[in-house]
Amino acid sequence: KWKGEGTTPNLDSIIIGRCYEYIRIVNPAVGEKNCSELLEAFKKAFMNKDPCNILPSDYELFINLSQHSIPPNKSLFWENNQFLVSSYAARTHRYMPLGDTLIGAFGDLLNWCGQANNTEVDDSCPTTEECENNAVESFWRIASINYARQSSGIIHVMLNGSATGGAYPVKGFFADFEIPNLQKERISQIEIWVMDDIGGPDLDSCGKGSVQILEALLKEMGYDITCIDNYKSVLFLLCLDHPDHPRCSVISSALSAQRGPVFSD
């Protein structure tokens, strides 16, 4: 009956598996957690309820039980490049974006909603267009607020310079729930990376378009900011799939120079 995708099959098992994998293998620094208790708290937010009447505060108990600290300089905010961000972050080895926290592990790439007067999950769920107060949207809202509050040191933001509608959406999780909840006194710098898709248009860059709007806003809030176009380290990762593209020539020319003597031997 709803337009959105339904609850991911085997949701409980996926979450329990992800939770124990996170606390035992990915990030044991979070310490002991009771994953069954966390799953119960998570489900209590939306089960047996009108799927259009779920508020961020319904997840409060879940957030309190599952939260852990985010190491300084490890926060990575983003818009419109989820897969690049998760590959670059490398499951907390380089960075710890929200999706690589214990809270994020409960929602990343999953979908869920309950039904009024029914103890089953639903196989179709409301989209945010149908109703804003849905289970998934409210989850990411409170998760974003909590993540921004926990972030400290140098903050990184990865934006997509090829995104239609701008690299920095003025309405989005970063603008609406993260920027306003950053703890200014605990933040030394904000570094913005604007990555263009290889083969995609260069629509936005540092100092231009929506990135300029973001830079001006953060400066006005008193942050020390830097902005880098096509940050090399992330560009290397993009270029893995397009080694011969002209935008990757910085890397290919270095490699052919390296190869030269080997082949001429």
Residue ranges in contact with ligand ENP by CB under 6 A: 77-80, 82, 97-99, 104, 107-111, 136, 140, 143-144, 172-174, 178
**Least distance from ligand ENP to the Cβ atom of residue 137, Å:** 8
**Least distance from ligand ENP to the Cβ atom of residue 141, Å:** 8
Q: How far apart are CA 59 and CA 139, in angstroms?
A: 7
**Least distance from ligand ENP to the Cβ atom of residue 31, Å:** 23
Which residues in the chain belong to E strands, given as ranges? 4-5, 76-78, 124-125, 153-160, 187-195, 225-229
Residue 7 CB-density burial (10 A; 0-12 exposed, 13-18 middle, 19+ buried): buried
**Least distance from ligand ENP to the Cβ atom of residue 86, Å:** 8
> SS3 for 41?
helix
Q: How far apart are CA 142 and CA 164, in angstroms?
A: 27
- Smaller CB separation from ligand ENP, 99 or 114: 99
Asked if residue 108 lies in contact with residue 99, where contact means CB atoms within 8 angstroms, the answer is: yes
- Smaller CB separation from ligand ENP, 14 or 110: 110
Q: How far apart are CA 47 and CA 26, in angstroms?
A: 29
- Smaller CB separation from ligand ENP, 112 or 248: 112
The residue number with the shortest CB distance to ligand ENP is 173
- Smaller CB separation from ligand ENP, 51 or 248: 51
**Least distance from ligand ENP to the Cβ atom of residue 178, Å:** 5
**Least distance from ligand ENP to the Cβ atom of residue 230, Å:** 19
**Least distance from ligand ENP to the Cβ atom of residue 159, Å:** 10
- Smaller CB separation from ligand ENP, 79 or 229: 79
- Smaller CB separation from ligand ENP, 114 or 248: 114
Exposure letters 45-80 (e unless 16+ CB within 10 A, then b): bbbebbbbebebebbebbbebbbbebbebbbbbbbb
- Smaller CB separation from ligand ENP, 50 or 137: 137
Q: How far apart are CA 74 and CA 14, in angstroms?
A: 26
Q: How far apart are CA 242 and CA 248, in angstroms?
A: 7
Q: Report which secondary-structure segment, H or E, holds 218.
A: helix 209-220
